[in-house]
């Protein structure tokens, strides 16, 4: 019977992973407040108390569930605009659940808001460094905001006009706008 491991460490690892996976899914679907530990536990087929025992609190569970690798540095080769579009291009397929969970909570959960703001600020700074003219930071911020808006409208809100558009077509249509922002 390889399927059901009886090793202690292995069982623990798997339970923890099942919990984290369930948490990501439910946080992504409902956001922080509407997600209950009981619901996560049920989805992970585990007792609610176990979730507490492993993660200490709902907040801790959230933090660990949405922990995401930080934004990779700008690829010096590609143009910033193409870099951004590429990220969208990839992200126009389903976003990682951790990202969705983070975004879904960012307007109603102060900690998520601060985390997202921090990451976007960083991305703005990074992007601004790759632009030239004087108000690079403002233009970078507007580029990032545009990406944010399109992602929200497409992935979280499901705007009808965007729902059936292919990622490539979106990226392609968006390109001139981003370029206009990049060039000033």
Q: How many other CB atoms sit within 10 Å of the CB of residue 95?
A: 18
21 exposed, middle or buried (CB, 10 Å; 0-12, 13-18, 19+)?
A: middle
Give me the helix-helix angle, 8-34 and 97-105, nearest 10°.
30
Among positions 65, 85, 116, 131, the unique one binding a second copy when judged by CB under 8 A: 116
Q: How many chain residues bind DNA (CB under 7 A)?
A: 24
How many residues at the interface with a second copy, by CB under 8 A?
53
Give dist(CA 39, CA 54) in Å, integer.
16
Rule CB under 7 A: say whether 162 interacts with DNA: no
Q: Does 86 bind DNA (CB under 7 A)?
A: no
Residue 154 sits in the site that holds a second copy (CB under 8 A): yes
Q: Which is nearer to DNA, 9 or 133 (CB)?
A: 9
Judged by beta carbon distances under 5 to 8 A according to partner kind, the member of a second copy, DNA, none in contact with residue 120 is a second copy
Residues 28-47 that bind a second copy (CB under 8 A): 30-31, 33-34
Helices (H), 35-109: 37-43, 48-55, 58-65, 80-91, 97-105
**Could you tell which of DNA, a second copy, none binds residue 80, using a CB distance below 5 to 8 A set by kind?**
none
137 binds, among a second copy, DNA, none (CB under 5 to 8 A by kind): a second copy
Q: Which residues contact 171 (CB under 8 A, 6 or more apart)?
A: 85, 88, 89, 92
Give the one residue of 1, 2, 9, 161 binding DNA; rule: CB under 7 A. Answer: 9
């Amino acid at each position: 019977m390889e399927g059901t491991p009886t090793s202690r460490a292995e069982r623990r690892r798997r339970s923890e992973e099942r919990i984290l996976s369930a948490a990501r899914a439910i946080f992504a679907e409902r956001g922080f407040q509407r997600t209950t530990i009981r619901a996560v536990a049920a989805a992970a087929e585990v007792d609610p108390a176990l979730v507490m025992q492993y993660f200490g609190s709902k907040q801790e569970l959230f933090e660990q569930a949405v922990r995401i690798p930080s934004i990779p540095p700008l690829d010096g080769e590609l143009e910033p605009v193409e870099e951004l579009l590429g990220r969208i291009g990839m992200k126009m397929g389903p976003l990682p659940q951790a990202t969705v969970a983070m975004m879904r909570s960012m307007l109603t959960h102060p900690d998520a808001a601060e985390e997202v703001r921090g990451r976007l600020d960083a991305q703005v700074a990074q992007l601004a460094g790759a632009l030239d003219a004087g108000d690079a930071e403002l233009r970078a911020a507007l580029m990032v905001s545009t990406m944010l808006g399109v992602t929200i409208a497409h992935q979280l809100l499901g705007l009808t006009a965007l729902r059936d558009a292919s990622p490539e077509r979106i990226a392609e249509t968006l390109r001139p706008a981003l370029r206009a922002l990049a060039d000033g």
